[in-house]
Amino acid sequence: MLGIVLAAGKGTRMKSNIPKVMHKITGKPIISWVMDSLCRFFNEIDLSSDSSVCIVIGNDSEQLKDFIDTNYDSINPNYAVQEIRNGTGGAVISAKEYIKNAAGDDYVFVLNGDVPFITPDTLTKMRKKITDTSSDALILTVNMDDPSGYGRVIKEDEDEVKKIVEHKDATDEQRLVREINTGIYVYRAKSLLEALEKLNSNNAQNEYYITDTVTILKDMGKKVTSLVLENQYEVAGINDRVQLAELEKTVRENILEHHMKNGVTIIDPDNTYINIDVKIGMDTVIYPMTFIKSGCIIGDNCEIGPMSQIEECTIGNRCKIERSHLKGTEVCDDVSVGPFARLREGTRIEESCKIGDFVELKKTFMKKGSKAQHLSYLGDATIGENVNIGAGTITCNYDGYNKHKTIIGSNAFVGSNSSIVAPVCIGENALIAAGSVITEDVSEDALALGRSRQIEKKDRAKTIKEELKRQKEKRL
């Protein structure tokens, strides 16, 4: 089989420099929804090795091509460039060389890159019906309560299609028809090629319409049938940001419903945002204004939020993440984070650790039972078990050119307002006095101090205050 995905449209109504199909729904590009369904369809019918995908792109679609190459390299995607955007028929004509590579009776599916929710199950039903009815083409249709603006599917009987009539060209009687064309098709390769040879642009818009292939095939004595889809949502398209937001809301509601039915408590679904690939364990509670983005796995009995943002993280069981930002972080069981903490890429927090308010970690491995509860920055560090990091502690890991590593042994105690200048190693059970600047390694069980001597000037404060007061009065 061949899957053709039409993705060359500029999406003028999106008012964007980004290709329309690269705009995202719950963090996932529109085109990715279509590609995932097509790939699953090929895999489910065990034809992946004998199938291919051709994406029709414009001549300014490098961003789209890079995305497909990066994420779908396993299917060896092909590209056809629609140099002139001259209609849906013109897009399919651009892929004609790939259609010619298919055997005559091979199936060619034509999908729209901006219709994201087509399912593998529907594609399977389309393939079965075109086979069972020995048709040359099959159109996916849907009945709408208000079909205004859509092309009407005019039939000869219950299944066989006579033609598609656009709304503006339809008679009053034809406008009463509720069955509309979704723009999704499957053809026999040979029949599609024959129809494309006869396709012309003799119309007001001077464009090639793929819908005209229906009339062409009928005039050739070919059989065209339809499959009526029950779920209109599955073929909802996106033309502007309003429709994008509407579909985003629908998808988000479905995602939240899925999690709630699987044992997750979501306090306020209207103000909770979870991407589609997120996994959450039972009895976890998600508080309002929480954003859980792609690549997250969250365990059982956690409390997430309020006002937290989590992305590409693995979080264990019984964790609490309050008003914090986590990205690219692994958090083990029974860890408390926040409020107002930031855990950055490459950080791993082991069991029973505590990360408190205004603490930032980057590429830091904190072992079991350690804690940094206030106002600290720990970067490029390995911290042993049961270490206490005092408030205001900083690992000075960057010298302006390179990053350097700090190692703190288990059971060490780092006093408040300490600066640890990397590269440096602090041994197990060591004590770092508050206010110290540590520039050299500290031995196990040692006490390290790095302070200036305290000096006291008797009665000097009074003299300074009086002088400052005189200067202020003089200015006034």
Residue range(s) in the chain whose domain bears CATH number 2.160.10.10:
241-448
Encoded tokens for 37: 């369904």
pLDDT value for 452: 85
Which residue type occupies 261?
K
Burial class from Cβ neighbours inside 10 Å (0-12, 13-18, 19+) for residue 332 reads buried
Q: Are 90 and 82 in contact, with CB atoms under 8 Å apart?
A: yes
Q: How many CB atoms sit inside 10 A of residue 350's CB?
A: 20
DSSP letter at 151?
A: P
The closest alpha carbon to 391, from 413, 378, 411, 373, belongs to 373
Encoded tokens for 54: 């051709």
Q: How far is residue 467 from each of residues 265, 458, 460, measured CA to CA in Å?
A: 63, 16, 11
Q: How many CB atoms sit inside 10 A of residue 406's CB?
A: 23
Q: Are 271 and 257 in contact, with CB atoms under 8 Å apart?
A: no
Residue 274 gets the label, from left (phi > 0), alpha (psi -120 to 50) or beta, of beta
Q: How far is residue 345 from each of residues 299, 327, 379, 410, measured CA to CA in Å?
A: 20, 6, 10, 23
pLDDT value for 50: 65
Fold for the domain defined by 2-235: Spore Coat Polysaccharide Biosynthesis Protein SpsA; Chain A (3.90.550)
Residue range(s) in the chain whose domain bears CATH number 3.90.550.10:
2-235
Encoded tokens for 251: 């998808």
The closest alpha carbon to 408, from 399, 400, 201, 397, belongs to 397
CATH of region 241-448 = 2.160.10.10
Unique residue bearing structure tokens 């365990």: 299
Q: How far is residue 36 from each of residues 16, 84, 204, 396, 421, measured CA to CA in Å?
A: 24, 28, 36, 45, 49
Q: How many CA atoms lie within 13 A of 110 on its CB side?
A: 30
Encoded tokens for 365: 């491995």
Give every CB contact of residue 257 below 8 A, 6+ residues apart in sequence.
Answer: none
Q: What is the spatial distance between Cα 437 and Cα 421, in angstroms, rounded to a whole number?
A: 7
DSSP letter at 454?
A: P
List of the chain residues with pLDDT < 50: none
Catalytic residue numbers read 374
pLDDT value for 410: 98
Backbone angles phi, psi at 182, to 5 degrees: -90, -10
Q: Are 406 and 424 in contact, with CB atoms under 8 Å apart?
A: yes
| β partners of residue 240 | none
What are the pLDDT digits (tens) for 288-339? 999 999 999 999 999 999 999 999 999 999 999 999 999 999 999 999 999 9
Unique residue bearing structure tokens 């629908």: 250
Q: How far is residue 194 from each of residues 79, 102, 218, measured CA to CA in Å?
A: 22, 13, 12
Q: Are 363 and 407 in contact, with CB atoms under 8 Å apart?
A: no
The closest alpha carbon to 348, from 333, 334, 361, 329, belongs to 329
To the nearest 10°, report the CA torsion of 24, 28, 32, 38.
Answer: -120
The closest alpha carbon to 326, from 339, 340, 342, belongs to 342
Which residue type occupies 406?
T
